[in-house]
Amino acid sequence: MRRPLRAATRGIAALLAAAALTACASVDSMVEQVGDAVPQMPGPAQTDFVPSEAPIEQSGTGNLSPDGFDAVERLAVRIRNVGCSSLSTGSGFAIDATTLITNKHVVADSADLQVSTYDGRDVDVTAASTAALADLAVVRTAEELPSFPELAGSDPVPGDAVTVVGYPQGGALTLTTGQVIGSTTDPLNANLGEVLVTDAAVEPGSSGSAVLDEAGRVVGVVYAKNASGQSFIVPVSTLRTLLADEAAFTPTAGCEP
């Protein structure tokens, strides 16, 4: 069973007992070796789950300027999935006045999607659709969103600084920083092609978080982490390719009666 970073709202003890913490996919198959930074491990990828750590703390403005932080604060949203059989939370970010990007697994099996902004405002959702070839989803809103960022023109490279902005554990808006350490084929087989790997800390509920460069441009979307604390990112090149293809996304299915 493979599940990325979606935070269930059930009790932690019950989640651990069920070994189904919806977020932290433990993937001991490491990224392709980039210099000496990340050694490559032999053997097939493991997909058991690891418990969540304590919520990560907000780290000031990350790699961003104060003005950049103000913009980031406004673009990130918290997503609550009232599911067919469970409750969970995730993160997302605006790409235009009425369009959000998040992960496919954040909106999957949903009876109702509830979106709230940094200032606690609830935003009605009108539609959601998911990509077949990546762990990405598009959510449309009835009201305009406070702010949206620019998508970067190219993917970051190893050594580039990144800031992740989202709502880990469904809690407060949080920024964490790190750098790109390499790329790898997706260990969860949720995405076609390569994904990026960073050392920026993420937790359950971080799924769908925007990954930003130092200029505040989106360079990727968080979707999973491994047991070593590395985060996996759908690169902006994949996001751009899918957004340009009208057939790439299909409407989400509701709960079966």
pLDDT for the residue numbered 52:
35
Does the residue 56 lie in any domain? no
Does the residue 10 lie in any domain? no
pLDDT for the residue numbered 254:
74
pLDDT for the residue numbered 202:
95
Interacting residues of 47 by C-beta distance below 8 A, sequence separation 6+: 1, 2, 25, 26, 27, 187, 188
Q: Is 237 a catalytic residue?
A: no
Indicate the number of domains in the chain.
Answer: 1
Does the residue 52 lie in any domain? no
**Ordered alpha helix ranges (H), 41-163:** 66-75, 104-107
Choose, from 52, 91, 110, 135, the residue flagged as catalytic.
135
CA separation for the pair 75, 92 (Å, rounded): 8
Q: Domain holding 138: CATH number?
A: 2.40.10.10
Does the residue 240 lie in any domain? no
Does the residue 82 lie in any domain? yes
Cα dist from 47 to 3, 23, 102, 136, 235, whole Å: 8, 11, 22, 20, 22
Does the residue 65 lie in any domain? no
Q: Is 105 a catalytic residue?
A: yes
- DSSP letter assigned to residue 14: H
Neighbour tally for 5: CB within 10 Å: 32
Domain span at 81: 74-148
Does the residue 87 lie in any domain? yes
Interacting residues of 11 by C-beta distance below 8 A, sequence separation 6+: none
Question: Low-confidence residues of the chain, pLDDT below 50?
Answer: 1-3, 8-59
CA separation for the pair 257, 253 (Å, rounded): 12
Choose, from 207, 209, 231, 237, the residue flagged as catalytic.
207
Q: Is 186 a catalytic residue?
A: no
CA separation for the pair 221, 26 (Å, rounded): 18
pLDDT for the residue numbered 18:
33
pLDDT for the residue numbered 73:
78
Q: How far is CA 83 from the centre of its chain?
A: 18
Does the residue 110 lie in any domain? yes
Neighbour tally for 118: CB within 10 Å: 18
Secondary structure of residue 243 in the 3-state scheme: helix
CA separation for the pair 221, 135 (Å, rounded): 9
